């Protein structure tokens, strides 16, 4: 039976999606649907464990650019190892569909937690932010930009530890800069220079990191919507409401970190994760 097949119960006649064998895995349930892929929780029969299997959408199986980006994601993530980055276990193809098998992180993504709870209290968000900054720092050390940092790409395990996933838009920097031919990132978190087509560097990821913290701490995105024209979105990013105006009970320290991270001009942002990690650690211990 091909994967994702709807079958009809012979007793009650109800249509249901069957668990399907897909390569060396049995797909148990769909976990997420992205722009170009589906993520399933699956049973790995070889090693007798649950894994996450990301499968390229059938619509893009013949799209050379998407196929290249999908393969690149696996290569980038497998090129370094860090506790705060989701591990790639293997890649392959089944039923003509490319897939990436990754470690299963059981707590769901940060976006789900924000939606369910409204926002994440500062005391809970600080260790998550430190984890994310450490994972991004590890990627940066290999000369990679993530380029799609957002709550949906931050997974939490059962202990609340954060792991970054989805390096599908990642670029290797040259002389500290990266050049992208297309913008696929999420408007709420993407940096102004990315929208304008200017060269990106570590400060572009730091902007998205800051915008993610802003969303988590307030329950509100910094600005814009998915249909806003690029020029209007850039202008909106000049006029982001200060964090303190929305959440007056936040500490001065976290407000300073977030607002420096999302400064409109890259020159006014942090230039490394080391300083961010240090400052967040001090705030957490205060």
Q: Which residues are catalytic?
A: 148
Q: Record the tokens describing residue 135, joined without a space.
A: 């994972």
Indicate the burial class of 98 (C-beta count within 10 angstroms; 0-12, 13-18, 19 or more).
buried
Secondary structure of 117-150 in HEC code, one letter for each residue: HCCCCHHHHHHHHHHHHHHHHHHHHCCEECCCCC
Q: Which residues pair with 241 in a beta bridge?
A: none
93 backbone dihedrals φ, ψ, rounded to 5°: -145, 135
Q: How many Cβ atoms are within 10 Å of 174's Cβ, its own excluded? A: 10
Q: Kindly state the DSSP code that residue 241 receives in the 8-state scheme.
A: P
Structural contact between residues 86 and 165, judged by C-beta atoms closer than 8 angstroms: yes
CA atoms within 13 A on the CB side of 193: 23
Q: Kindly state the DSSP code that residue 63 receives in the 8-state scheme.
A: -
| C-alpha angle 277-279-280 in degrees, rounded to nearest 5 | 65
Helices in the chain by DSSP H: which ranges? 64-78, 110-117, 122-141, 192-195, 202-218, 230-237, 243-246, 252-261, 273-285
Q: Which residues pair with 107 in a beta bridge?
A: none
């Amino acid at each position: 039976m091909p994967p994702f097949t709807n079958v009809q119960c012979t007793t009650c006649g109800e249509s249901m999606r069957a668990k399907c064998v897909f390569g060396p895995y049995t797909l148990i349930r769909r976990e997420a649907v992205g722009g170009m892929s589906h993520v399933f929780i699956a049973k790995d029969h070889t090693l007798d464990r649950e894994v996450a299997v990301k499968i390229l959408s059938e619509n893009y199986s013949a799209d050379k650019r998407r196929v290249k980006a999908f393969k690149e994601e696996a290569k980038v993530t497998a090129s370094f190892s860090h506790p705060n980055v989701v591990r790639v276990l293997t890649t392959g193809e089944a039923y003509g569909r490319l897939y990436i098998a990754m470690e299963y992180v059981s707590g769901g993504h940060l976006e789900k937690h924000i939606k369910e709870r409204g926002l994440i209290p500062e005391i809970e968000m600080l260790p998550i932010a430190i984890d994310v900054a450490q994972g991004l720092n590890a990627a940066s050390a290999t000369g990679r930009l993530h380029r799609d940092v957002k709550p949906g790409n931050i997974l939490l395990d059962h202990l609340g530890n954060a792991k970054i996933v989805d390096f599908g838009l990642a670029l290797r920097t040259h002389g500290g800069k990266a050049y992208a031919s297309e913008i696929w990132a999420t408007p709420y978190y993407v940096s102004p220079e990315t929208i304008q087509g200017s060269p990106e560097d570590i400060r572009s990821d730091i902007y998205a990191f800051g915008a993610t913290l802003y969303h988590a701490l307030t329950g509100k995105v910094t600005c814009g919507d998915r249909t806003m024209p690029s020029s209007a979105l850039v202008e909106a990013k000049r006029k982001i409401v200060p964090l303190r105006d929305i959440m007056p009970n936040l500490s001065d320290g976290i407000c300073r970190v977030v607002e420096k991270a999302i400064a409109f001009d890259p020159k006014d942002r942090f230039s490394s994760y080391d300083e961010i990690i240090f400052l967040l650690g001090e705030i957490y211990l205060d």
